[in-house]
Amino acid sequence: MPYTPIIGTLGYVLSKDHTQVLMIHRNARPDDLHLGKYNGLGGKLERDEDVVAGMRRELLEEADIEAVDLRLRGTISWPGFGKNGEDWLCFIFLISRWQGTPLTANSEGTLEWVAVQRLLDHSLNLWPGDRHFLPLVFDPDPRQFHGVMPYKEGQPVSWTVTLI
């Protein structure tokens, strides 16, 4: 069967001093698959845009900020991740410089500045698989990561990654 994933972006916006990350606490919609969890910003790619344009659009829509410096850190294939078992392929960005004043909330939840260390020490309510790739987003290694993390019933079942 051909792999036909939903394609998305996920961005981690650093504070001006690079010690915090702008996260969305998904607490606004009771029917949200991500309800209660903290996520980076991002979403589905639109038909007529490349992944960078999609990431920039999502940052404007979700936080009202414009990316100045963004770097593709890697990709993750999440077979079975969606609400109905849909496959996702996501492009993960680190946004180190941006313009504007971030919103404090949007239709999906509250936007909060969170210490980078809190993402890495698992003290936030994140998806269980985030602990595998978040260190790769924030480490100084310039190589990109490309991973596969199948999900079953809302839980990751394995993780493989290649660094290039």
Query: How do residues 27-46 score in pLDDT, each as one tens digit?
Result: 999 888 889 999 999 999 99
d(CA 129, CA 158): 9
Q: What is the CATH number of the domain that holds 103?
A: 3.90.79.10
Q: pTM of the predicted model, to two decimals?
A: 0.96
Amino acid at 123: S
Answer yes or no: is 1 within a domain: no
Answer yes or no: is 11 within a domain: yes
pLDDT at 20 over 80: yes
Answer yes or no: is 58 within a domain: yes
Between 97 and 82, the more confident residue is 97
Q: If we measure between CA atoms, which residue out of 29, 20, 32, 30 comes closest to residue 124?
A: 20
d(CA 102, CA 132): 28
Range of the domain at 19: 6-163
Number of folded domains that form the chain: 1
Answer yes or no: is 153 within a domain: yes
pLDDT at 1 over 80: no
Q: What is the pLDDT of residue 115?
A: 98
Answer yes or no: is 46 within a domain: yes
Q: What is the pLDDT of residue 132?
A: 97
* H-state helical runs in the chain: 51-63, 116-120, 130-138
d(CA 145, CA 143): 7
Do the beta carbons of residue 8 and residue 45 sit within 8 Å? yes
